[in-house]
Amino acid sequence: MLEQKSEPDRVLLPEKIVRSDDLMEILAQASRRLNIDSVPDSLHCRDNEFFDIHDFIEDKLKHKCGGTLFISGCPGTG
């Protein structure tokens, strides 16, 4: 006998948002932030990584030499 799958639970918006006059602005802001062309003002919790890259490039320019810097990570993880 085939097992019948249940429907997934629906995710409901909090009552505060549903009643808000700003719902469309909230959705527009979320859409802008999730756009792949969006560039944040800063990368939270990435100061060390930023300075590592900055220092590497600055050193190569200062000494007029080339170098290789390998940066990896899962897409979308910052």
Every domain of the chain and the residues it spans: 46-71
Report the distance separating Cα 59 and Cα 52, nearest Å: 11
Estimate to the nearest angstrom the gap between the alpha carbon of 21 and the chain centroid: 27
The yes-or-no verdict on residue 5 having pLDDT over 80 is no
Angle at 38 between CA 12 and CA 67, to 5 degrees: 130
Report the distance separating Cα 21 and Cα 61, nearest Å: 52
- pTM, 2 dp: 0.46
Q: Express each pLDDT in 23-77 by its tens digit.
A: 788 888 888 888 878 777 777 788 888 899 999 999 999 999 999 999 888 776 6
